Amino acid sequence: DRPYRKCARIVGDTMGKYHPHGDSSIYEALVVMSQDFKKGLPLVDGHGNFGSIEGDGAAAMRYTEARLQKVSEEALLADLDKDVVDFVPNFDETEKEPGVLPARIPHLLINGAEGIAVGMSTSIPPHNLGETIDAISAYMKNPDMTVEDLLEIMPGPDFPTGGIVTNKDELAQIYKTGSGKIKIRGKVEVEKVKGGKEQIVITEIPYTMIGANIGKFLNDIGTLVETKKTTDIVDITNQSSKEGIRIVLELRKGADAENLINMLYKKTRLEDTFGVNMLAVADEKPETLSLKQIIEHHVDFQFDVATRKYTSLLTKEQENREIQEGLIQACDVIDLIIEILRGSKSREQVKNCLVRGETEGIRIKTKTSQRQASKLRFTERQAAAILDMRLYKLIGLEIQTLMEEHEETLKKIARYEDILNNYDSMADVIITDLKKIKKEYAKPRKTAVE
């Protein structure tokens, strides 16, 4: 909900406040988070040239601008003000930063992850947001689900570039062990053209081909023609645009298209493998996790965040209740309170009278009022609220509004206590939140699993 800011400013703030790395690596991360061909759920809304699927780099950070996507705000940063995660000092202890973001979605599965650390690496494929949310909801209702049951709901990876996963039988084993190889192919169509000829059109490419590998793929086809491995291809054109990939191979008359497609799968990167190694930091230790374990960890985290959120909300409402009850009680003895105020020399004196019934040094006209004043026992918080109360609050309608607010507060307290003390109520709240995210941001699946 903010205007776009220059990426150079964002990178500078990041480096100075949170992350003392090189500016180019920070900008690179920002760029990748905005590219919809690399991330199924982009987290950054980029404005300007942020590179292309064919490997063109983004413009320099002084030219481009960015801001957060709405989904980042709602699914990764919501409730940060409700003490849901611990804040830790940054690298030079001049700022505080959240130790971990209160993510409502398992970003690790949805956008995948790849990275290399000392002595270990990780490679997690991206998945479909809607399917992942459905799998989590199902797991929360039945924690005994197996990996096979989960794969009924989320059948496998969903790459932003589409394509076809061809080793469906091996997926269960890959997701159980957290490692293996997924075979992906590009999507190929055969079109008839005039003169009885055919052309092969590639409309989706394997995820591993994005970037410079598209150029390499075209060169590989050129090499097949030059080395006479095939004589069926007459012309190659790359007609890809912002609408999507379209690589056209024109065939000579009478060519066997099926045979040629199989050759392309075998000899080029039109069929490729995506190495899966689901290594993640779980409970502060690196561990290779199965699909079910990632979901388990995510659900445990959701319960932890929800517990902290509703504890924080409950405390706030309990404070409200205390103040409201004090004001309601004060309205009943307002004449006495005005008498005490007029007979006192300082705020402290009035406060002591309201909290502990001390009337020494206060000029109170009648013995009855003196007796009533000595019985006053408001809490510190209530006394402060009474002293800050404005006179217009004594109008009949205002008192009525106060009573209604009090009713509302009692309802909220009952609801928050129910959520905190009841597993099913908390699970319902978490599932409802997930459904909202799914309804707003889920997209149809792009990758076929065959």
Catalytic residue among 63, 175, 392, 423: 63
| Mean pLDDT lowest among 192-196, 202-206, 316-320, 418-422 | 192-196
Residues of the chain above pLDDT 70, percent: 100
How confident is the model at residue 436, as a pLDDT? 95
Q: Over 90: is that where the pLDDT of 399 sits?
A: no
Q: Over 80: is that where the pLDDT of 394 sits?
A: no
Determine the Cα–Cα distance for residues 378 and 387; give it in Å rounded to an integer: 12
Q: How far is CA 63 from the centre of its chain?
A: 27
Q: For residues 200 and 190, is the Cβ–Cβ distance under 8 A?
A: yes
Indicate if 207 belongs to the active site: no
| Mean pLDDT lowest among 88-92, 177-181, 338-342 | 338-342
H-helix or E-strand spanning residue 129: helix 129-141
Single pTM value for the model: 0.88
Q: For residues 315 and 411, is the Cβ–Cβ distance under 8 A?
A: no
How confident is the model at residue 138, as a pLDDT? 95
Determine the Cα–Cα distance for residues 416 and 300; give it in Å rounded to an integer: 19
Query: Is residue 399 helix, strand or coil?
Result: helix
Mean pLDDT over 334-345 rounds to: 89
Q: Over 90: is that where the pLDDT of 230 sits?
A: no
Mean pLDDT over 348-376 rounds to: 87
Over the stretch 21-56, which tens digit does the pLDDT of each residue have?
899 999 999 999 999 999 999 999 999 999 999 888
How confident is the model at residue 36, as a pLDDT? 92
Residue type, 275: G
How confident is the model at residue 166, as a pLDDT? 94
Over the stretch 264-320, which tens digit does the pLDDT of each residue have?
999 899 999 999 999 999 988 999 999 999 999 999 999 999 999 999 999 999 999
Confidence of residue 172 (pLDDT cuts 50, 70, 90): very high
Q: Over 90: is that where the pLDDT of 368 sits?
A: no
Determine the Cα–Cα distance for residues 219 and 199; give it in Å rounded to an integer: 18
Q: Rounded mean pLDDT of the chain?
A: 92
Over the stretch 233-270, which tens digit does the pLDDT of each residue have?
888 999 988 888 999 999 988 888 899 999 999 989 99
How confident is the model at residue 163, as a pLDDT? 93
How confident is the model at residue 301, as a pLDDT? 95
- HSE (side-chain half, CA atoms, 13 Å) at 1: 2
Over the stretch 80-113, which tens digit does the pLDDT of each residue have?
999 999 999 999 999 999 999 999 999 999 999 9
